[in-house]
Amino acid sequence: MHPIEHISHLLSASTTGIGKTLEDLLDIQENNYQEPDFGEYELKASRSNSNSMLILFTKSPLPKGANTRLRLMYGYASSAHDNNEKVLHATLNARNFTNIANTGNALKVDYVVQSPSDLILIESQQGKLSIF
């Protein structure tokens, strides 16, 4: 695929504009569907000078309420909320612990079972396990 940066009249300046530009060039209508953008393919685009990660998929923990449980256990107050509601923003992996803001907590994916239940264990540095 060739860079599209020279087509300046089509580029949107917004943070997601490059993806919208790619969809426009391919005549793909913008949508918020869970399905792939183009046949069986999900299109991803980024600016050449971007340091942002591209998210290909997100595994949401089960059962219902697991995100809230994780946020309450390991989250932290954010200036984005006036009510001191905890937030939890982290990208976990299975090799290393990820530090969670300035909380002193660090988490990693401990084990994933490839089965219909897709069991995931989230481990803290203190040895606590959360099972999803």
Report residue 111's pLDDT band, with 50, 70 and 90 as the boundaries: low
Q: How many structural domains is the chain composed of?
A: 2
Same domain? For 6 and 34 the reply is: yes
Same domain? For 24 and 41 the reply is: yes
Same domain? For 81 and 111 the reply is: yes
Which of 57, 74, 89 marks a domain boundary? Answer: 57
Same domain? For 77 and 42 the reply is: no
- Tell me which range, 8-22, 49-63, 85-99, is most confidently predicted by mean pLDDT: 85-99
pTM of the entire structure? Answer: 0.50
Residue 14: the pLDDT is 64
Distance (Å, whole) CA 22 – CA 46 = 10
Which of 31, 57, 83 marks a domain boundary? Answer: 57
Report residue 93's pLDDT band, with 50, 70 and 90 as the boundaries: confident
Same domain? For 70 and 43 the reply is: no
Domain of 102? 66-131
Beta strands in the chain (DSSP E): 76-77, 86-87, 98-99, 106-112, 120-124, 129-131
Distance (Å, whole) CA 22 – CA 89 = 28
Same domain? For 78 and 111 the reply is: yes
